[in-house]
């Protein structure tokens, strides 16, 4: 009896896998398959700042406390990031890989651990993704919507460059923040 049950179970496993009860083979899952990618980058563990992710937010908070506009490269230098980056993409909750590839100019790149959709009940991870020549260098984590030292959350600004000018914003009852300066 036991042998018959084991044989039946062994025979069902391939049938269940073929019927779709095995690993997810959806387009989203295949998106990270290395054979279909020119390269892959894990935003969760991909080259975070050598001095720590929160150093970027601290540098932004310090600059926001002042009254003088600053360039984004000044913030990253103060955070310990060298000038090797040429593009920063604001990766917000729920951003899909195809949108990130469009913004970052990274065709064929596969992304792992992109942030899930926003949930009103708790802060959701998001990332500042630094690139050079279309190649990801590092990602600094931040919490959406609570971390707003660099206030790109509610604007259309999703791509920032070293020479992007940020102006301090001081509102009564709120912590200071930096926003992209209006174009002249």
pTM for this model (two decimals): 0.75
> Average pLDDT, stretch 94-113?
94
Q: Answer yes or no: is pLDDT of 32 > 80.
A: no
Please give the pLDDT value at position 109. 94
Residue with the larger pLDDT of the pair 5 and 58: 58
Question: CA-to-CA distance for 165 and 150, rounded, in angstroms?
Answer: 12
What distance in Å separates the CA atoms of residue 99 and residue 124, rounded to the nearest whole number?
19
- pLDDT value at residue 4: 45
CA 171 to chain centre: 27
What average pLDDT does this structure show over 15-20? 36
Buried b / exposed e along 117-131 (16+ C-beta atoms within 10 A): eeeeeeebbbbbbbb
CA 62 to chain centre: 23
Q: What is the per-residue pLDDT for 25?
A: 32
Tell me the domain boundaries of the chain: 39-168
pLDDT digit string, tens, across residues 33-86: 455 888 899 998 865 544 445 688 899 999 999 999 999 999 999 998 877 899
Binning pLDDT at 50, 70 and 90, where does residue 122 land?
confident
Give yes or no for residue 159 having a pLDDT over 80. yes
């Amino acid at each position: 009896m036991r042998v018959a049950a084991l044989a039946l179970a062994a025979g069902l496993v391939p049938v269940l896998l073929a019927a779709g009860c095995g690993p997810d083979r959806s387009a989203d899952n295949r998106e990270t398959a290395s054979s279909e990618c020119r390269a892959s980058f894990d935003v969760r563990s991909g080259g975070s700042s050598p001095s720590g992710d929160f150093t970027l937010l601290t540098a932004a908070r310090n600059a926001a406390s002042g009254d003088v506009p600053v360039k984004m490269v000044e913030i990253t230098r103060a955070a310990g990031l060298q000038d090797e980056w040429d593009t920063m993409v604001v990766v917000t909750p729920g951003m899909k890989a195809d949108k990130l590839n469009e913004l970052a100019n990274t065709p064929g790149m596969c992304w792992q651990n992109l942030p899930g959709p926003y949930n009103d009940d708790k802060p959701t991870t998001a990332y500042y993704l630094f690139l050079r020549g279309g190649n990801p260098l590092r990602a600094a984590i931040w919490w959406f919507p609570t971390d707003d030292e660099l206030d790109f959350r509610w604007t259309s600004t999703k791509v920032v460059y070293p020479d992007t000018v940020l102006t301090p914003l001081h509102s009564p009852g709120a912590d200071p923040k930096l926003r992209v300066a209006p174009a002249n």
